[in-house]
Amino acid sequence: MGDVMSEKIILVDDDSNILASVSVALRAEGWLVETYNDGEQGLIALQRNPPDIAILDIKMPRLDGMEVLKKLRESSDIPVIFLTSKDDEIDEAIGLRMGADDYITKPFSQKLLIERIRAVLRRSSYKSSDVSDKMIQRNELSLDPDRHLCKWKDLEIRLTVTEFLILYSLAIRPGLVKNRDQLIDTAYGETIYVDDRTIDSHIKRMRRKFRLFDKNFDRIETLYGVGYRYRDG
């Protein structure tokens, strides 16, 4: 269940079925939930009375999720999770650069969404706290799991919760090969079924993010037919 001081979630999606089913699931966890069926209404609510986290569909009439996020980021850094379709990879890349915290691809399990909300809320609550004792340093890479904070050569690389969990799992044991099933368990838990290729696309996106800051980044190695490993130095 949620804390005594219930956190507030604003959910914006033009699909009334998603609004209904997801809001019921989130309220059952003890969260306060407000729902809006278009981006324009959602943005007004987000600015007037900011929640602890916003969940936005990318494709919406009047104002899409990207535009809502862009306007929101002019005045607020509240955490945002996007709901996205399988073919929205370009949108995802833009959204992450604009400051989205995570992505959930439709169709999604409510259990996964709830876990992601918890992780993002946990991360945002650590923003001003001390460095964790679980922090790991691998030459130019530093990872703070309490805050889901990743730095490469002292520059912050903004990873989604899923990407961070995968990278941490690899970097904590450099040189050790982890197969896709192990990485899926790390990122999604053992009870959620995820396609193998999902891990490949997370790794691909992660490499892309690092290469924006360092075009020679090559620490995450693919062993074809086996899995991935983190090479330290």
**Which residue type does 139 have?**
N
> What is the phi-psi region of residue 169: left when phi exceeds 0, alpha when psi lies from -120 to 50, beta otherwise?
alpha
Q: What is the pLDDT of residues 68-88, one digit of tens each?
A: 998 988 888 788 999 987 666
Show the 3-state SS of the chain.
CCCCCCCEEEEECCCHHHHHHHHHHHHHCCCEEEEECCHHHHHHHHHHCCCCEEEEECCCCCCCHHHHHHHHCCCCCCCEEEEECCCCHHHHHHHHHHCCCEEEECCCCHHHHHHHHHHHHHHHHCCCCCCCCCCEEECCEEEECCCCEEEECCEECCCCHHHHHHHHHHHCCCCCCECHHHHHHHHHCCCCCCCHHHHHHHHHHHHHHHHHHCCCCCCEEEECCCEEEECCC
User: How many Cα atoms occupy the beta-carbon half-sphere of 171 within 13 Å?
Assistant: 25
pTM over 0.85: no
CATH number for domain 136-230, candidates 1.10.10.10, 3.30.870.10, 3.40.50.720, 1.10.645.10: 1.10.10.10
Beta partners for residue 10, in sequence order = 34, 54
164: pLDDT confidence band, cut at 50, 70 and 90? Answer: confident
Q: Which of 24, 28, 27, 31 is nearest to 5 (CA)?
A: 31
CA distance 7 to 118: 10
Tens of pLDDT along 208-219?
Answer: 999 999 999 999
User: In this structure, are residues 7 and 32 in contact, taking their beta carbons and an 8 Å threshold?
Assistant: yes
CB 206 within 8 A of CB 159: yes
Instruction: Specify the pLDDT at position 114.
Output: 93
Residue ranges matching CATH 1.10.10.10 in the chain: 136-230
Q: Residue 99's pLDDT band (boundaries 50, 70, 90)?
A: low
209 closest CA partner among 78, 76, 94: 94
CATH of range 8-125; options 2.60.120.10, 3.20.10.10, 3.40.50.2300, 3.40.50.12780: 3.40.50.2300
Q: State yes or no: pLDDT of 97 exceeds 70.
A: no
Residue 85 identity: S
Pinpoint the residues of the chain covered by CATH 3.40.50.2300: 8-125
